[in-house]
Chains A and B, each alone.
Chain A
């Protein structure tokens, strides 16, 4: 593990942190265009973050240390996840620390902490949000794990960089039916876990329809900034996982030159543009599901993921 590799590792992390609000801004712009209204500027999320960081934190009188700690923990889990996912290069020395299963576990840690923080205040909204988030989470997490398992079966390793290298090193395009099922399942899980339509409306202000927003209702100022950043990072991370599993072309391999790395960054940006637009399109075309249809949606995702595994075991592909 050369020093350069470590530099690129940290660089990829910082790139993720820097690009995530931009990605969220791009999705917002696409949505606005599709809804035929004028969009806020692309860098609006950065302005939101700046505004929030400047404010005084207004904490509830009964908030405990867990409430104050949770935003840092959630943000840190998302940053660590960004360090593990190969978005630009597979030469990630720290990715050996955690493999795909640990990645899912790290996401779960973030989810548990934010749910606990939501329950800390003791109002109806927080506990409702926590309950709903855990309900969505307990079905989405196994679905994501099964998607990663199918990918493992096809590529032979649960370490994400190795998976990407395996896919990129194949000489010709190979179509895997199992990855087809896994892809559908992955998109469904992405929508559910990132609080997107049709599971949760990220721009709602009606408490009874909230899942993610209800949990962060009590937060303000820098805590809210960190939580928003963490949710944007989560979307970015999920997008990068999707790229790594299903569209890895462009990711620089071991020992790549600086030129290839620049190309990889450009490829990433291009993929993000397309993914953001597709996400916005899908969100605009869907209506929000009734809350208890959400488990059905997620059960379908879970079953598709399991089906992907089964199809792989049957067809060997």
Chain B
């Protein structure tokens, strides 16, 4: 059996796994488990990039995969773990709306994303273009996660998951982005996480909690 076919199938399975992880992140309450899911997302991303690189014989994707491995699987989670421990936020994390409703909204977003992807899929040229729908779905679900959470920490994780979705979309539909763009994005991510960390400390000092609803009290009435 030609290896390309097998690789395509595995990447499609990984796309499915990516969607699964996004849904699990939507429903997950504890910060620690969320972070572990984010790490798994990174691993899936690295694996799929390597497979796409192998099957399409594109060396720059290998560098992409290495960068992703370094940043998204090692450095960023480490920073976030330490942040989590310093802030002491390992407790239960209720979303704004209850979980089943959130899952239903998520499902509607997935349907929308799949429907959206179909005309675009016709334009793309890669073998894996059908997974664009899943990538868009991951992006929309991450948006939903950012919207539906109270605590700032989970919103950062949602932001990172969003970026993961974008990366996956780029890899499968257009075989990656120009290296300059990728390096720039990686740097942006790193800086953003640092800044988030600093902000968290400030917010907690001000309000004694990371509940973003408290920010409303800053309003002038």
Taking Cβ atoms with an 8 Å cutoff, the residues of A that contact B are 172, 174-175, 177-178, 180-181, 184, 295-296, 299-300, 303-304, 306-307, 310-311, 313-317
Contacts and interface: CB of A to CB of B under 8 A. Distances in A.
Interface of B: 1, 9-10, 12-13, 15-17, 19-20, 23, 27, 99-100, 103-104, 106-107, 110-111, 114, 117-118, 130-131, 133-134
Interface of B is mostly: helix
Given A181-B20, A304-B23, A317-B12, A299 B103 contact: yes
A307 B114 contact: no
A298 to B, nearest CB: 9
Contact of A177 (B1, B13, B107, B117): B13
A177 B16 contact: yes
A311 B16 contact: yes
A288 B9 CA distance: 36
Contacts of A310: 110-111, 114
A296 B23 contact: no
B23 A307 contact: yes
Contact of B103 (A177, A181, A300, A317): A300
Contacts of A180: 13, 16-17, 20
A317 B13 CA distance: 10
13 contacts: A174-B9, A177-B12, A180-B16, A180-B17, A181-B16, A296-B100, A299-B104, A300-B27, A303-B107, A304-B20, A306-B107, A310-B110, A314-B118
A314 B20 contact: no
Given A296-B100, A300-B27, A315 B12 contact: yes
Contacts of B133: 314
A304 B110 CA distance: 11
Contacts of B131: 315
A175 B10 contact: yes
Given A304-B20, A311-B19, A314-B134, A296 B13 contact: no
A295 to B, nearest CB: 7
A175 B9 contact: yes
Contacts of A172: 1
B51 to A, nearest CB: 12
Given A303-B106, A307-B20, A311-B19, 7 more contacts: A175-B12, A180-B20, A303-B104, A307-B110, A311-B16, A314-B133, A315-B131
Contacts of B118: 314
A135 B154 CA distance: 31
Nearest to B106: A303
Contacts of B13: 175, 177, 180
Contacts of B107: 303, 306-307
B54 to A, nearest CB: 17
Given A303-B23, A316-B130, A296 B99 contact: yes
A303 B107 CA distance: 7
Contacts of A313: 114
A214 to B, nearest CB: 24
B16 to A, nearest CB: 3
Contacts of B134: 311, 314
B99 A177 contact: no
Nearest to B117: A314
A314 B111 CA distance: 10
Most buried by A among B15, B16, B19: B16
A304 B100 CA distance: 12
Contacts of A299: 99-100, 103-104
Nearest to A306: B107
* Residue from A177, A303, A313, A316 with most neighbouring chain B CB atoms (10 Å): A177
A251 B44 CA distance: 33
State the 9 A-B residue pairs at the shortest beta-carbon distance, nearest first: A177-B16, A299-B100, A175-B9, A314-B114, A314-B133, A177-B12, A180-B16, A296-B99, A315-B130
A263 to B, nearest CB: 25
Contact of A314 (B1, B10, B130): B130
Contacts of B17: 180
Contacts of B16: 177-178, 180-181, 311
Contact of A184 (B12, B20, B130): B20
